[in-house]
Structure 1
Amino acid sequence: MCNSSINSNLRSLLDELERIKFNDLSRTLELSNETYFQCKMQQYPAGMCFSLLVKGNCLSFLGKYSDAIHSLSQAINLAIENNICDLQILINIAIGNIFSDLSNYEEGFSFYNSAVKLCSKLSNSTNYYSNSCYEIYYCKVCNNMAEIYKILGDLDNASRLYNQAVELDIKTNYKGTLGVSIANLGSLNLLKGNLYEAKKQILKGLEITKANNFSIAITECYTNLAMIYEKEHNEDKAKLYFQKAMNFSENSSGVFYKLGAIINYSKFLKKHGDIALAIDNLISALNIAETNNLLEKCNSVCKELANCYEELNDIEKSNKYYRLYFKFDSELKVLSNSQILTSIEIKLKLDTLESERQKLIKKNDDYRKHSEMLLESSRKMKILSELGQKLTSTQNLDEIIDILSSNISEFMNIHNFSLALYDKDKDCLIFKCNNTNGSNSELPLVQLNNNRSLSAYCVRANKFIVINDFDKDPLVLNETINIYEPNGMHGFQSAIYCPLLIDGYSFGMISIYSHIKNRFNTLDIETMRALASYAAIAINNSLKSSYLKIEIANKEKIQKDLEKVNYELKYLSENDFLTKLSNRRKFNSTLLIEWQNCLQKKCPLSIIIFDVDNFKELNDNYGHLVGDKCLAKIASVFKDCMNDTYTPSRFGGDEFIAILPGISKDKAIQIGKKISSAVKALKIEHAFSKTDNIVTISVGVASVIPTESTSIDELLKSADTAMYKSKMAREKLFNSTKGL
């Protein structure tokens, strides 16, 4: 739609905006605002519409859907008012893309279909682009619809639409989408396992997208090629293309796709045994994801990191990333709920815009009724939005149920609200809430195979059920139902049963009842659908959160138990069971350490060794049990004579020994006397002793300042000799005067 009245400067601005619109998002936003202002100043509505469209697409790429829909709403009004058909098509595609991004595929398809219908009017309408034709825009729609089919797992329909897109691109020689169409077909063949076709198509698509500098598509092509070479066991090429995908684009438009490439590359490295490099890449990916607030990617990366450290048996780091995973998972669920709210709010905005356009040609009465409906819808939407925020603010199941029960009556004129969850082990519904006019009461279990219960039927069949008249509804009159509800019905005339669905699986239901026939209109029904979605997400998050907390607690308990067992095993390996003193193994390792310390510090190292006089006679005449008790008592007083820096040990049999680092010979002799006196003070009877009528000990002391020319063995031998001389001389302490 060339306007000869606009100046060359504005024309240049519009051309520049066209050129950069898919590459530099920051610059695109700035330029679209500037171009819109200039077009408005020169009263050029087509340029204003185009600027708003580009701005809306840019905001959508950045995930700012509410702002995007605001720009696109202004654009669609301008396009309709000025009958600019090709921009109407592109705006419908852009809005469809937003709903698809928010996983509202039904609404996405609705806008894509609107775009297809408008394509037939192109030849008889005013258009912004001079080359606009049916094939070009239908090709865009085919690609987008195929993407949805691919996400939903319908590869046959996805393949059909991708092929149509490629055929139309070739027919029109439209390079703007040809590379993307071919690359998309290649990615589909990759999913199907047709590696030869996939590689050929992706390489061709890469060639074309490079020529058009379509950075997002180029990054995806590199990633898909890497995955193909990995499947072909060509590790070198796989690494090469993963690196290309990660390094290709550093600007804001490539971050999401770059992260996808890094995560896939890390999985590749882990699969091929390079877990350390995989961890490095994942940590880098986590930093990028956190910087750009990409919670879904943060969540995926933390899960991969936890798995990697789990394989390395690094339980501490594995638990660290499991906790981060749990944190991001919670934030992601809040974001997911927010996106659902955004999707509903966007739909409401668009419905409102369409309604306002229709109001121009309606009678005053229709206008009044429609306004009332919009006001009611707006009121309910506000309450629903606030309720959604409350639900996503907690992961406590009881709090979620209380929020639902206490708030639903604010926007639904009902007499009863019930909520039941499916218990898989018991194969029944357990009612968690049954609120009648503000009063809660308990309800019995309902078996899932109970053919008389609409609640059970709702969950069993995954069906959203609306009953506006229990006396006439065909489902109620069905002999297989016969209507039994645990709440006894209480004269209810209308009801809505909503399954709580996650990934197509029903894990419970909520229901509302009214005493009034035909109580629920279309708005009420859609409101309950939205509420059921919020409730399902919030309750599922709560259940998953509980399971995850239990799993983490179990892992932490296992870790603590393991540490306790390891400590006990280490204790048993280093300590004597009878005396609780260090054993010979621990003594030897400690002596070696203290020897080296004293060697470096050039300080004395003393040894005290003693045995029980005539211990064999004690055992032979009093028995081994008395002998063991004797050793335990001696060990106790021996330990009492030591401080924390000494190492009292059982050397073997009735021999005891201690390491005294930094203690001189004289001090060691004093300690030896103290031990001898303490043992004697026990007054353990020993009538068969050759030295006394009570248990006594013979003590030997040796001391040395370690040098390179002395040895541990000499020190031990010297102490042993001193003890022997003590025993022979019938003395309790003997000092080796020779030293070492």
Structure 2
Amino acid sequence: MDAKKAMEHIDKKIAEIAELRKSDLKAALNIAHETLELSKEVNYPEAESILLQQLGVIYAYLNNTAKSIEYTLAAIPLLELYNQEYYLCYAYCALGCMFSNYSYYETAFDYFNKSNYIAKKYQFTDRLSISYNNIGEIYKLLSNYDKALYYYQKSYEEDQKTGFKSCMGTYFVNMADVYYLLGDHAKAKEFAETALEKVKEFNFERALCEVYRIFALIYWKLENPEKAMEYFFKAIDVADKTMAYDLKIDLLIYYHQFMMEQNNHDVAVKALTEAYEYASSENYHEKSILICHHFTMFYEKTGDFESARNYYKLYIMHNQEQSKERLKQIRDGIELRIKTEYIRQQSEVDVLTGIPNRRKFNEKLEDEWKLAAKNSRPLSLIMIDIDCFKEFNDNYGHPEGDKCLVAIAKLMNDILSNKYFLSRYGGDEFMAILPDTTLDQAKNVAESIRKAVMDAKICHKFSTVSFYVTVTQGVATLIPDETKSINDFIRMVDNALYDAKRKGRNMVSCLI
């Protein structure tokens, strides 16, 4: 298979994985790993970044948090490098879910908001819908049901724009769950019926399991045991099929309680025993604690005090293990925060010069633009280009070229100090943002940079301008308002730089 065909094959597999995630996680996992290896073999890093992110999602669905974190964090720098904004939006949303699992809700909101920012900027309506749904989930966990319903509604409104293809009805599932928790069984049933239609339409098996669970609970509360049992069986069957063991354990616990009410103790104990087997094998200590509590209560009620004592001992053991697990979760949560902060810093810093990169420049300029517009204050840009830098690299070699870039970046950073913002814009170009600075003031700063670079006397025998390294600069100043855009501003400073180059280089040209 040649490289082009291999890349086409990889793209098809990525689309296939996205579909398989809804119904067959094991198959999706295997194909994702195989396709990741192929993308490395044919040197297709864009696909590699997407596959790493997709593996992070699959492992999250499989409740393998460690693997999910590993692949998601590996994906983010590559997604940023290759401008895979859609999947970066996806990865930030996944991190939000991870932090939510660790109960770091504020950090989770931060990542959901990052995801929302990208989604709004690039009009990724489907990602916006998913992010709103996830924010609603946090509010549901916090028992703030009004806020939860508000965000589920926003998720629904965004998903309408995609033909309901992004969340596939999960907000209806969540709305049904909230109304069940509020005791409004009629509303819960209404939303569950709508959810059932949607999740079946999109073959979203895990969500289907949740819908069946809600129906079972509703019919139980409505004292319709035949219907409740029917939906319990349906939910458990789907949980088995999709390997959703966390959901199956919860279902078996509910089913135990339901059968206890029906005075069918043998079936109730059998359900709880099966739940405990799954919880123990998967090290779900929190669920094991609840199961042991139910066992202890049951055996005390039936007079089997020896069995009650045995399960109480297991209850204590799982409590101790859960305490250890909680400490580990706290450590893991802290480690995740450290890792994500490091990645954030790395993604905003130019590796060679140590100053902010173009991504960070774009963010900073947007912030300063809004502030200047709000206060009707001047905002200035300086675009700096190293003269004849290609000739420097070609003749002195790239290692010396790198040293030159580092030296000039340090020199300019020292001049601009903390008052202004310097970034490496790309190659041998730099950009400086000067808030609350007039054109004359910005021109003076640019002249200081030009003179300092000349005074550094970095030898450049192959320059057509001087025997030393020099810089050419464009300066632009404006007061932002609704008639102007950031892109217009960048074009202004780019035109000013072009004008300075046209006039002979090693000079400053201004536009206002």
- Is TM more than 0.5 here? yes
Q: Which residue is equivalent to 1:33?
A: 33
Pairing 1:166–2:156 present: yes
Aligned equivalents of 1:134, 1:11: Cα separation in 2: 20
Q: Which residue is equivalent to 2:336?
A: 346
Q: Which residue is equivalent to 1:239?
A: 229
Q: Contact 1:226/1:242 (CA < 8 Å) preserved in 2?
A: yes
Deviation at 1:363, TM superposition (A): 6.3
Aligned equivalents of 2:143, 2:129: Cα separation in 1: 21
Q: Which residue is equivalent to 2:184?
A: 194
Q: Contact 1:6/1:44 (CA < 8 Å) preserved in 2?
A: no
Q: Within 5 A, what are the aligned runs for 1:509-588?
A: none
Of structures 1 and 2, the larger Rg is shown by: 1
Q: Structure 1 residues 361, 37: CA separation in 2 closer, same or farther (over 3 Å shift)?
A: closer
Q: Within 5 A, what are the aligned runs for 1:112-123?
A: 112-122=112-122
Pairing 1:270–2:260 present: yes
Aligned equivalents of 1:47, 1:361: Cα separation in 2: 23
Q: TM-score, normalised by structure 1?
A: 0.46
Runs of 5+ unmatched residues, structure 2: 357-512
Pairing 1:356–2:346 present: yes
Per-residue deviation, residues 297-326 of structure 1 (Å, max 9, x unmatched): 222111111111111122111111111111
Q: Which residue is equivalent to 1:105?
A: 105
Aligned equivalents of 1:339, 1:61: Cα separation in 2: 18
Q: Which residue is equivalent to 1:18?
A: 18
Q: Which residue is equivalent to 1:45?
A: 45
Deviation at 1:283, TM superposition (A): 0.8
Q: Which residue is equivalent to 1:288?
A: 278
Q: Which residue is equivalent to 1:146?
A: 136
From the two aligned structures, give the one with the greater helix fraction: 2
- The alignment's C-alpha RMSD in Å is 2.3
Q: Which residue is equivalent to 1:723?
A: none
Deviation at 1:184, TM superposition (A): 1.1
Q: Which residue is equivalent to 1:96?
A: 96
Q: Contact 1:23/1:253 (CA < 8 Å) preserved in 2?
A: no
Q: Structure 1 residues 12, 356: CA separation in 2 closer, same or farther (over 3 Å shift)?
A: closer
Q: Which residue is equivalent to 1:618?
A: none
Q: Contact 1:170/1:178 (CA < 8 Å) preserved in 2?
A: no
Which of residues 320, 325, 332 in structure 1 aligns to 2:322?
Answer: 332
Q: Structure 1 residues 22, 339: CA separation in 2 closer, same or farther (over 3 Å shift)?
A: farther
Q: Structure 1 residues 253, 101: CA separation in 2 closer, same or farther (over 3 Å shift)?
A: farther
Aligned equivalents of 2:109, 2:37: Cα separation in 1: 33
Q: TM-score, normalised by structure 2?
A: 0.65
Q: Structure 1 residues 321, 189: CA separation in 2 closer, same or farther (over 3 Å shift)?
A: same
Q: Structure 1 residues 252, 215: CA separation in 2 closer, same or farther (over 3 Å shift)?
A: closer
Structure of greater relative contact order (alpha carbons < 8 Å, 6+ residues apart): 2
Deviation at 1:364, TM superposition (A): 6.0
The one-letter amino acid of 2:151's match is L
Per-residue deviation, residues 202-256 of structure 1 (Å, max 9, x unmatched): 1221222123222211111111111111111111111111121112232463111
Aligned equivalents of 2:269, 2:354: Cα separation in 1: 67
Q: Contact 1:216/1:253 (CA < 8 Å) preserved in 2?
A: no
Aligned equivalents of 2:349, 2:126: Cα separation in 1: 34
Q: Within 5 A, what are the aligned runs for 1:72-471?
A: 72-122=72-122, 133-251=123-241, 253-360=243-350
Q: Structure 1 residues 351, 362: CA separation in 2 closer, same or farther (over 3 Å shift)?
A: farther
Q: Contact 2:292/2:315 (CA < 8 Å) preserved in 1?
A: yes
The one-letter amino acid of 1:343's match is G
Deviation at 1:63, TM superposition (A): 3.5
Q: Contact 1:21/1:54 (CA < 8 Å) preserved in 2?
A: no
Aligned equivalents of 2:48, 2:20: Cα separation in 1: 17
The one-letter amino acid of 2:136's match is A
Q: Which residue is equivalent to 1:70?
A: 70
Q: Structure 1 residues 176, 357: CA separation in 2 closer, same or farther (over 3 Å shift)?
A: closer
Runs of 5+ unmatched residues, structure 1: 123-132, 367-740
Give 3-state SS (helix, strand or coil) of 1:229's partner: helix
Aligned equivalents of 1:87, 1:77: Cα separation in 2: 11
Per-residue deviation, residues 139-187 of structure 1 (Å, max 9, x unmatched): 1011100000001010110010111112222233123413211111111
Aligned equivalents of 1:288, 1:73: Cα separation in 2: 30
Q: Contact 1:93/1:141 (CA < 8 Å) preserved in 2?
A: yes
Aligned equivalents of 2:324, 2:318: Cα separation in 1: 10
